[in-house]
Every structure is written in structure tokens, then in C-alpha cells.
Structure 1
Amino acid sequence: MTPRAYCVVGGGISGLVAAFRLRQAAGPDASITLFDPADRLGGVLRTERVGGQPVDVGAEAFIARRPEVSALLAELGLTAKQVGTTGVRPLIYARGRLHQMPPGTLQGIPASAESVAGLVDDATVAHVAGEPGRPLSWRPGADPSVAELVSDRFGRQVVERSVDPLLGGVYAGSAATIGLRSALPTLAAALDRGAPSLTDAVRQCVPAPTGAPVFGAVDGGYQVLIDELARRAGFRWAHVGVRRIDRSAAGWDVLDDDGARWYADGVVVAVPAPRLSRLVEGVAPRTAAAAGRIDVASSALVVLALPGGTPVPEQSGVLVASGEALHAKAVTLTSRKWGRRGNAELLRLSYGKFGDGIARNTGDEELLAWAAEDLRDLFGLRQEPVDCRVQRWIDALPQYGPGHPALVAELRAGLPPTLAVAGGYLDGIGVPACVASGTRAAARLTGSSVARWETWRSSTTTH
């Protein structure tokens, strides 16, 4: 039997996991070609040295209670590389000052009025406290924006000062642009089951404290995981982009940016939604149309190494409420969050949200000036950095708007059997969700049959 040939378009974590799973399923004789024109693999997982230490300048952490990353690290023999946080807590910057992160919340949505006391005014505390006594109108299956639900039940201050800071850090968006079912699927499910109030629904969903770290990371940075995945997958890396994907007599032709054609029995497309739309519009128009409706945001990251001994607070970072004068949307005190591993104090400051042009249009020197100003305003720090790096992620953060799950279902429904998709715009932007999407994409290809392929080809040519 002729060995199968696969192409993977995109060398981020989703594409690398797909290539690794394809190798496992198809065996050592299969041909796997991965296309990515970047200078290194990993996509938005990128590790650099700043202040003599490895620092992730894209995604830095994963939710430890999800199993995908921990299981993958174990499978690759990298369990010893998983590290947890030190246990210090984040702060919220609101009304021009720092507040403790409210306890007992679900993405900032409180389970009790007491948790947001001091962060919001007394009238809002009373409004939250009285929420269980007000009638709740909820339609099962509804997918409002997070802001629409929370502001109605708890008030705008809870949205702006508690919910927006968390969602802004995750999605580079806001509660007004993020759909409930994507950001908080367990909360939507609790409301669907008949929770009598938002307070009750949140209480059902807040995880019980276990004492274990909420977040995990990879010692040495995500590059450790990227390198091992690439080694195990054994693919040919074509350092070129892809222009489009065409049908061939028996499978697919992948046309690269140099004009070369690559045959494949199956293709995984693991690129951002806007690029997916352009690549497959000729072979999967329904998928292309759905992908084109997924918005994206851009973000810029400033990483600073301050001199050792700089009096950085014993906190994991700061999340910034809406409407504040601070430039940054979030600050991570890396050396406090993960523990010091060198002579410098590492910090990450994040800039840019959906709808603004900060990441595209603000120069490096201005971003560095903003970072210095923000650190003075937040902590009174005036030390000059010993090293720094500015990293931009343009159109890299998909927005999970209201109706996103239905949009993804439409996108997947338009795919022919031996064409699969993977990426952070599908079922979650976190690293665990991306690992799951790469695994799912590979399983779709290796589980496809010739009969299914012929059935799909027949249906697309007769309708």
C-alpha cells in the first residue's frame, strides 16, 4: 500500500500537535509536510531570552485543571518540565488604585455581593445582594454578550471593574464583545438547567478550591514543548506560505507561495480564521464564509528585565478595569508569579484590545515609554530596565462573539472529509484547547474513508 501523504498548513501549537498525531496514527512511512514561512515554529508560542532568562513572549500559561497540556507533556516525557505558580494573587486596578482580586468569582462574575465590596460602590453591592430576589428571564440556548447579562443582573460597575479586566486579559476584547457560551459555557449550561438567578448559577460553577495551582507553564518556556513535538512528528518543514488549496483527482493540491504544488491525501489547515477563509474559498466556500465572520484583535507585549532587588510587589500581576488612564490592559509580574530564576526581575505589560490600533500603530519607543509610565503609576517603580523586548501579535487573537459556537459548527459543516481545521478560533484560545483542536483534526483525517470522500465529492458537484 502506498504510504499516505499529509500536509499541515501552519506551525503553531495546533498544527504541531496535528502533525504529531498524524505521525502516531499513520506510522513512520507516511509523508508529512508542514508549511510555515516564519523564522521558527510555534506561532504565538514564542520563547525569547530577556535579562538572560527564557521568557514566553506570547501565551505564557495554561489552565492546569484542563488535562490536555499536562497529558501531552507526560506523553512526550516532559512531565518534570511542568511548573505551577507560586500562589501569589493578582490585583485589579480600578478607580486609579489597586484592589485585591475579588474571591469566589467566575471570570470576575461574583457569587456573592461581599466579594466585590470595595471594588464597586455601595449601591452596586446592594444591587448584587438583591439579585436572587429579582425575576430572571432566560431563554435556554440564548447566547448574549457577557456584558449584556452581567450588567442587567449586577450592574455596569461589576462588568467594568471585575469582568472586563479578566476577559480583556484572555481575549483582548471586552465583556461587550464576548459571547457567554464561549467565555463561560458552564454558566450558560447552569442557566439552561433552570438556575433561578445569576447568583445561583455562578455558585454552581465556581470551582471548589483545591490548593493546587490554577495555572501551569513549561520550565524553559514553550519552546521546550515546540521542539519536542517537532522532533517526534518527523515532518518536512517547508519554509513557505500557502496560497490556496485545490482539489486533485485523488486528494488535494497545496499551492505554495512560490508556485509549487504539493499533493496530499489529507490536509490540516491550522492558521488564523482570516487566512483559512482565503485558503479554502475555492474548495469549501461554506467554511470560508463562516471563517470570514470571525473577528480578530491585535496585541503588543513589552517584556522588561529590571535590576535584581527591584521592589516588585508580591503579587502575580495586575488586571486593568475599563476606562482607566493606564495604558496597559494587564501586567504580569513574571518573577513573582512563577518564581525568580535569575538575577533580574521580569515583567510583561500587555497593550491593545479589539477595535483599537495600538499594536499596529504604536512604535517600540512609545510602548517602552508607556511601560515605564505605567510601572511608576502602579508601583512607584522608576528603575531603568537592564533588558527589554517588544513583541507584536497582529490579528492573532480571535474574538468569541455571541453566537460563536453556532458559527464554528457552520464552519466545520462545510469541510470535506479529508480537509480538517485546527486553531485557537474554534473551541478556545488557550493552549489546552489548541492541543485538543490539533488532536481532533488529525483524528478526522486518519478516520476518514474513501467512501466518505467520494460521497462528499459527489454532493458538491451535483448541488
Structure 2
Amino acid sequence: MRIAVVGGGISGLVAAYRLRMLLGSHADLVVLDRAERLGGILYTGELAGEPVDLGAEAFVGRRPEVPALLRELGLESQLVTPAGLRPLVWSGGVAHPLPEGTLMGIPSNAESMRGLVDAATLARIATEPDRPLSWTPGSDIDVHHLVADRFGTQVAERSVDPLLGGVYAGSSRSIGVRAALPPLAAALDNGAASLTEAVGAALPPPSDTPVFGGIRAGYQALLDALAERSGAGFVTATPGTRLSRGIRGWVVDPIGAVDAVVLATPAPVTARLLTAVAPVAAAELAGIEVASSVVVALALPSDTALPQHSGILVATGEPLRAKAFTLSSRKWPHLAQRGTALVRASFGKFGDDSVLSWPDTELVAAAVADLATVTGIAIEPTTAVVQRWHGGLAQYATGHCARIAAAEAEIATLDGLAVAGAYLHGVGVPACVASGTAAASRIAAGAGVPTAG
């Protein structure tokens, strides 16, 4: 078989690797990517002479996909866990501890919000179970509408928005409950009498497993291993421009005829490629909006007195330009050993791409000034690096699950075609690994190769 994987991000590389494992050495695999490098929005750059991730820098530790993949590739020693420090939330010009016992910032009790919201909001949270809840099973609304109605706007803007901003570069207004918080939607569908009750039911059970994990040498170590083990041919700096039916399979321009295709491209690109062969799916995916962001990584003198916290998230409405800071050398013990203090500043939110046009000098200056504001200390970087991400994060808006279901239903009728990517069933790296694995399994099954699961 000759198989094209369009898109060389983590989803596409996992798909290529899994196809090699399933189909063996005789499969002809070609990975096509519009960028000059592989990895998509995973990118390990260099700062102060050491590797540093300038895209995602962590993954959800309670999901098994990434640790299992690292073990499979012989990279288990690269797995690292955070120091266990909690982040702060900057709200009202003051740094507050991030509330505990919440579901993506949605509280299960009023006490967890004390200090972050005013007395009237605390009372509103405490009495929420006493107010009738109207919820139609199977329905969907944006997170802001639900949280602000039940707990007040302050909870949405000061507790929920900072967390959703980190995951989606969006806010509670741009993200739907059903796609972003499926356990909460399930609890509401199952008849929870209040949002408080639904959050309590949706919270994961207590666990000693670290919330996050990372890779010691950066994500490049994983990307390189996947590329090598896939044994694929790589065509970079070359976008896939057209997908059409062939005599015995598919035709992918510009590489030609293939037996099967995995589209591991962002939603807007996938929509364009599917226009002629899966018009319903194309229309659904074209409706997925994306957000852009910028990461500014700063190297500071080792004696910089950064707070003993993993990061600082910024609430909606604050007069800062940055939306969040990761205090990397506090968060990750292996980075603390480097002899320099490392901080990542994040900029950009859904609906405003202006940050992409800021000069590097302006972005670094904004990161330094805002970091000085939220820490109260002098910030004097020894070096800095800027990474822009154009349309890198899909918005899981209201109705996202139904949209994806409709798209996948049509694609399922087309033999030899599969899709993968962060816009489908989760934006995190574990979800992308699962997505690439599922796409490879579909292609292999269509070729008559038995797959597990």
C-alpha cells in the first residue's frame, strides 16, 4: 500500500508510526507538511543554550497515551513530572491562589472562591443548590452562560476564563460545555438538581497521579522518535492542495495516487481538502473557528526571586497584555537545575489576532513589564525568544460534538480515508495521540489488517 499522511504534527506522526507497526515494512508511507519542519504546534526551540518547548510544554498526566507511547519508543526515562506547586490567579490587581476543588475553575463549593470573588458572589454560590435548574438532556450552551447564570460573572471571568484561556486560547464565552467538559454535561444530563451537584459528580476521584507530565528534552525527542520509527518519506514545505478520488484509491496533490489517506491537518485545511469528496464534513469542519497565540520565553538570572508557584494566570478584564505566565523553572525540577530562571509568557485570545503583528521587541517588553507587575520584582532577562502560532488552537464551541459527529459520519462512508487532529476530540497531546492511533487503525482495518480495540 501507498499511504499519504497529510500533516506532520503529533497526530500525523503518530498515525504514520502506527501504520508502520500495523502494516509492516512493505507499506510506502509519505508524510506531507506545509511547514519546513515536522511537529505542527509542538516545537522545541532553544533558550540560553538549552532546549525549551515553545508550543505545548505539558500533557495531562491522568491520561495514559503519552506515557505509554514513551515506553513503547524506549523514551520512558524522558518522562518528567512537575514539582507540585500550584498556580496563582491575577485578579483585581492582586495575586490569589488558584481555587482548589474546581472543575476547570467551576467551584463545587463557595469556600474555594473566598478571596477571589466578592461576598455577594460567595452567597450566590452557596445558595445555588436552592434555585431550580433548567437543563434539557443532550443540550449545549457556552460555559459562560451556564456559570454566570448559576454562580455569577465573577466566577466565570476570574476562575474559569484563566484556565480555558490556557487550554484553548479562548474564554468561557467561546467554549461549549458539552465538548470541553463532557463529565459535567453527563452529570447534567443525568438529572443533577444544581450546578453544584453536577460539578461534584463530575470531579475526578482523588489520585496521587501527577496532574501533568512533560518530556525532559522537550517534545522534539518524541517527534524525532516517531518520525524515525515510522520509516516514512517526508515532504516538507509542501502543502497538500487537493484531494480527489483515484482509479483505485485517492489522489493527493502534489504527490499523486495513493491507496489511502490520513488527513491530520487543522480543521480549516481539512475542510478545504474535503470539499469535493465529503461536502457535509467539509461544511461542518469549516465552521470550527481557531485562535492564534504567541509564546515569549524569557531566561532570567538564576537568583531572580520568582514566586514559589507553577505559574500565574490572568483573569478576564485585567489591564495586562499577557494572559498567563508559566514559571517553568519553578514548575519543573529538571529545568530548575539549569542554573537560569525560565519563564514563558503567553499572549493572544480568540477573536483578536493583533498580537501576531507585534514586533518581537514589543512582545518581549510586554512580557517583562507584565511579569514585573504580577510578581512585584525587577525582571531583567538575559535572553528571550518569541514563537508565533497562527490559528493554532481550535475553539470547542457550543455544538462542537454534534458538528464532529456529523463530519465523522460522512467520512466513515469513504474507504481509505481517515482524519486526525486536535479539533476532533481534544486539543491536548494525549487526545492527539489517540486521534492519530484511531486514524491508523481505520486505514489498517480497511486494508484487512486486524487491529486491537
1 CA distance for matches of 2:49 and 2:383?
9
Q: Contact conserved, 2:66 with 2:433, CA < 8 A, in 1? A: yes
Partner of 2:16: 19
2 CA distance for matches of 1:113 and 1:272?
39
Tell me the TM-score normalized by structure 1.
0.94
1 CA distance for matches of 2:172 and 2:92?
18
* Deviation (angstroms), 1:61: 0.5
CA offset digits 1:364-384 (Å, max 9, x no partner): 111111011101111123232
How do residues 74-223 of structure 1 correspond to structure 2 at under 5 angstroms?
74-223=71-220
2 CA distance for matches of 1:217 and 1:442?
25
Aligned counterpart in structure 2 of residue 372 of structure 1, from 368, 372, 380: 368
* Deviation (angstroms), 1:342: 0.7
How do residues 28-427 of structure 1 correspond to structure 2 at under 5 angstroms?
28-239=25-236, 240-256=238-254, 261-339=255-333, 340-415=336-411, 416-427=414-425
Structure 2 residues without counterparts, runs of 5 or longer: 449-453
2 CA distance for matches of 1:401 and 1:212?
30
Q: Contact conserved, 1:52 with 1:342, CA < 8 A, in 2? A: no
1:434 aligns with 2:428: no
- Worse-matched range after superposition: 381-390 or 419-428: 381-390
1 CA distance for matches of 2:230 and 2:72?
13
2 CA distance for matches of 1:381 and 1:40?
38
Alignment partner of 1:242: what SS? coil
Q: Contact conserved, 1:299 with 1:358, CA < 8 A, in 2? A: no
Q: Contact conserved, 2:29 with 2:233, CA < 8 A, in 1? A: yes
Give the percent of matched residue pairs that are identical in Structure 1 and Structure 2. 54
Q: Contact conserved, 1:17 with 1:438, CA < 8 A, in 2? A: yes
* Deviation (angstroms), 1:434: 0.3
CA offset digits 1:139-174 (Å, max 9, x no partner): 100111011111111010100100011001110101
Alignment partner of 2:68: what SS? helix
Alignment partner of 2:204: what SS? coil
Q: Contact conserved, 2:59 with 2:214, CA < 8 A, in 1? A: yes
The total of aligned residue pairs comes to 443
* Deviation (angstroms), 1:208: 3.0
* Deviation (angstroms), 1:413: 1.8
Q: Contact conserved, 1:359 with 1:394, CA < 8 A, in 2? A: no
* Deviation (angstroms), 1:449: 5.5
Q: Contact conserved, 2:295 with 2:346, CA < 8 A, in 1? A: yes
Alignment partner of 1:127: what SS? helix
Q: Contact conserved, 1:82 with 1:217, CA < 8 A, in 2? A: yes
* Deviation (angstroms), 1:341: 2.8
Partner of 1:460: none
2 CA distance for matches of 1:440 and 1:129?
43
Partner of 2:451: none
Q: Contact conserved, 1:359 with 1:393, CA < 8 A, in 2? A: no
The amino acid across from 1:195 in the alignment is: A
* Deviation (angstroms), 1:211: 3.1
* Deviation (angstroms), 1:326: 1.2
Alignment partner of 2:241: what SS? strand
1 CA distance for matches of 2:337 and 2:438?
36
Alignment partner of 1:59: what SS? coil
Alignment partner of 1:447: what SS? helix
2 CA distance for matches of 1:262 and 1:229?
24
Q: Contact conserved, 2:314 with 2:323, CA < 8 A, in 1? A: yes
2 CA distance for matches of 1:33 and 1:217?
29
CA offset digits 1:178-223 (Å, max 9, x no partner): 0001111001101111111111111112223323310000110000
* Deviation (angstroms), 1:336: 0.4
1 CA distance for matches of 2:355 and 2:23?
41
Structure 1 residues without counterparts, runs of 5 or longer: 451-463
